[in-house]
Structure 1
Amino acid sequence: MEVESTQSLPQSNNELHRSKRLTKISLVILNFIIMVIGTTGSPLILRLYFLKGGKRIWLSSWLQTGGWPLILIPLFVSYMKSRDKKLPLMSPSLFISCAFIGILTGLDDWLYAYGISYLPVSTSSILISTQLAFTALFAFLLVRQRFTPYSVNAVVLLVIGAAMLGINSSGDKPEGESKEKYYLGFFMTIGAAVLYGLVLPLVELSQMKYEKVQVPVCYTLVLEMQLVMGFFGTAFSTVGMIVNKDFTAIHREARDFELGEARYYIVLVGSAIMYQCFFLGTVGAIFYGSALLAGVIMTVLIPVTEVLAVVFFSEPFSSGKGVALALSLWGFVSYFYGEIKGKKARETVNGTS
């Protein structure tokens, strides 16, 4: 009987390991799908709001984090399945860090909403992709991100692509919009890219500090982090909405919306859901990889957003955008080629040691 129990122990461990691995793969796939939906759909629906008569910058900023209560659903399910009696898992120091990051996210949302209100989706998407360069810089400073010639090449290509957009942007200005507003939107979007490039490494740094003093970070904690960041980001935008009297203007704006009042509210709710997918997917990408990986995934989804913007909004796709897009894709391929090559080299070293 004792022999049988000792023989069954390795088998039980293998089954447990296999179960955990399948769960992790499932979460990675689900997280990637959520990020694809949020990253490609959120700028389109927000641009639709402005194209059809929406004008409230603080409201559109609020919508980017206002869907945070949706996180309560998967978080509740995760709590029910958890065997850990210590819930929530978040420590006071991590809570403070997430609250600060949430406020920064609220400011970033305002900059981004201001930018996209004056820019075509195709232009704003490529501009926001420059966050990868800033993510790389802040990741190096904050979390000691290692760089290879391939990752450096990716960052340089993305910066050049954004610079080309700035040089050739005169023909991209939407009809009826002043040049001053166009360039204001241009630089606001760049500002949003800089700030979000700081936010991503800060999230990774918070996770790393938690792991040093607590237990390893799990996906339940990722949900808690997103919940806190979403709440404080929304609180920041709520103050802006109150000062700007956006709450009292919603009914009037809905009545004048080109698609009708009912569709106005559908656009608002849809925007909140899409952006929640984006933020949850991004935090998950940092959890399963790194801040730089999250930035790269966001960048590679730009072509999808570009095509959708041309299809749904009939936006022009100039040669300058084409070159910038090609540089972005080249940078993405360069990054992942370097990652694959580095992984093979590490496996070879580990195999020979």
Structure 2
Amino acid sequence: MLLYSFFVLAGQSVGTILGRVYYDNGGKSNWMATLVQVIGFPVLIPFQFFTTTNKNNFNDNNTRRQKLHLATFYVAIGIFLAVDCMLYSIGLQYLPVTTYTLLCASQLGFNAVFSLFLNRQRFTPFIINSLFLLTVSSALLVFEPDTAAGGPTKISKRKYVIGFVCTLAASAGYAIMLSLTQLAFQHLIKKETTRAIVDMTIYQNLVATVVIVVGLFAAGDWRRLEAEMEGFKTGRVSYLMNLFWTAVSWQVFGVGCIGLIFKVSSLFSNVISILGLPAAPVLAVIFIGERLTGLKAVSMLLAVWGFVSYIYQHYLDDLKRKELERSGNDAGVELPLVDERASARPS
């Protein structure tokens, strides 16, 4: 679980920063910025040969039907992923990294709501407090007067609003994708192996890549890529390296995210993602010259406070579970086995 958490934190931070660098150095194609978020899946293919799979996963009588359902899920979630990545790309183009990453904190609130209906997640006072703080932290950014000037490139108020709305919509879409992925592991895949995680990451990204490549050619952006490469401020090699490592970073993030879903839950995976939000703004301030204003700092503190509230609920649940186990052992009662994923969720 620690390895998957590291993948989420590292992949998200590096991918976000490299995406911002792409735009700041002359990158203009939203289609290309979206494509690199999913096209890196071939780097995972070798891991399919070194990971095990459960051959008894499907019943012989239902193999064809179950595989058809799983293939349908991969296609649907891949299309959803392509749209979601495009919304994220637009948001990243029009917003400074500090604003963009803090807006992404709203995905935890969306995820909690979707988990309530799709994954039977129940609210507690600490979870409600967490959702409230994260929502307020995002809403505060609307009143940031110098947001457009917060990064190296000035943007209009209209583009800022577009970026704000797109990032918020992308966060909601990402949240429902996590909940649907958890459902797929429970009802379609029904196996908990590293191979299942790699397969899920590869197939959904493969579908998303096909959709985005079609969009890239349909929009005519492919004609401008050569000129974009030539005009990149730091040169052609830097342009290619930026795209390559951005693609790798988001695949690392994807593996970590899906791994945490099947190890714990979709909500926990999202919480780890939110934990990494302060990293990108700090790196943006250090490496690409963005300003961390007072309002953004307050927003960040509220986001961290919301995360701590969730973790405290997780801590209380863990104490309650251990107390029940101890009391059961003292009474000589054999307790039923508890699914680690269920025990890790707030209840």
Give the TM-score normalised by structure 2.
0.88
In the alignment, is residue 38 of structure 1 matched against residue 6 of structure 2?
no
Letter in 2 for 1:318: T
The alignment yields a C-alpha RMSD, in angstroms, of: 1.8
Q: Which residue of 2 aligns with 1:280?
A: 255
CA distance in 2 between partners of 1:192 and 1:306 (Å): 19
Aligned twin of 2:174: 196
Query: Does structure 1 residue 343 correspond to structure 2 residue 321?
Result: no
Q: Does 1:321 align with 2:299?
A: no
Task: Give the partner amino acid of 1:52.
Answer: N
Match of 1:140 in 2: 116
Amino acid at match of 2:170: A
Aligned to 1:71: 44
Q: 1:111 aligns with which of 72, 77, 87?
A: 87
Q: How does 1:164-183 map to 2 (within 5 A)?
A: 164-168=140-144, 170-174=145-149, 175-183=153-161
Query: Which has the larger share of helix?
Result: 1
In the alignment, the residues of structure 2 paired with residue 121 and residue 83 of structure 1 have an alpha-carbon distance, to the nearest angstrom, of 42
Is the CA contact 2:20–2:92 (under 8 Å) kept in the aligned structure 1? yes
Q: Give identity over the alignment, percent.
A: 29
User: Whole-Å Cα distance in 1 between the matches of residues 80 and 56 of structure 2?
Assistant: 32
Deviation at 1:186, TM superposition (A): 1.1
Residues in 1 aligned to 2:211 and 2:127: alpha-carbon distance in whole angstroms: 34
What is the deviation of 1:262? 1.1
State the alpha-carbon separation in 1 of the partners of residues 51 and 139 from structure 2: 44
Residue 122 of structure 1 aligns with an amino acid whose one-letter code is T
2:133 matched to 1:153? Answer: no
SS in 2 for 1:314: coil
Q: How far did 1:85 drift?
A: 8.1
Q: Does 1:128 align with 2:128?
A: no
Instruction: Say whether 1:210 aligns with 2:188.
Output: yes
**Cα distance per residue 1:196-245 (max 9 Å; x no partner):** 1111101001111126xxx5332211111111111111112111101112
Residue 226 of structure 1 is matched in structure 2 by: 201
Structure having the higher Rg: 1
CA distance in 2, matches of 1:54, 1:35: 25
Counterpart for residue 233 of structure 2: 258
The size of the alignment, in residue pairs, is 319
1:173 match: secondary structure = helix
CA contact (8 A) 1:95 1:225 kept: no
Amino acid corresponding to residue 136 of structure 2 in structure 1? I
Corresponding residue for residue 331 of structure 1: 306
Look up the equivalent residue of 1:176 and give its one-letter code: K
Structure 2 residue matching 1:302: 3-state secondary structure: coil
Stretches of structure 2 lacking an aligned partner (at least 5 in a row): 329-347
2:345 alignment partner in structure 1: none
Shift of 1:182: 1.4
Superposed counterparts of 1:77-92, under 5 Å:
77-79=50-52, 84=55, 91-92=67-68
Paired letter, 1:30: L
CA distance in 2, matches of 1:95, 1:71: 19
Residue 245 of structure 1 aligns to which amino acid in structure 2? Answer: G
**Contact 2:57 / 2:191 at 8 angstroms: preserved in 1?**
no
State the 1:191 CA deviation.
Answer: 1.0
Give the C-alpha shift of residue 93 in structure 1.
1.4
- Corresponding residue number in structure 2 for 1:6: none
Superposition deviation, residue 52 in structure 1: 0.4
Aligned counterpart, 2:344: none
Aligned pairs (5 A) from 1:90-109: 91-109=67-85
Cα shift at 1:291: 0.8
Q: What runs of 5+ residues in structure 1 fail to find an aligned partner?
A: 1-27
| Kept in 2: contact 1:105–1:233 (CA 8 A) | yes
Evaluate the alpha carbon distance shift between residue 176 and residue 210 of structure 1 in structure 2; reply closer, same or farther with a 3 A threshold: closer
Q: For residue 64 of structure 1, give the secondary structure of its aligned residue in structure 2.
A: coil
Moved more, 238-247 or 288-297: 238-247
Contact 2:54 2:191 in 1 (8 A): no
Check conservation: 2:105, 2:274, Cα contact below 8 A: yes
* Aligned residue number for residue 219 of structure 2: 244
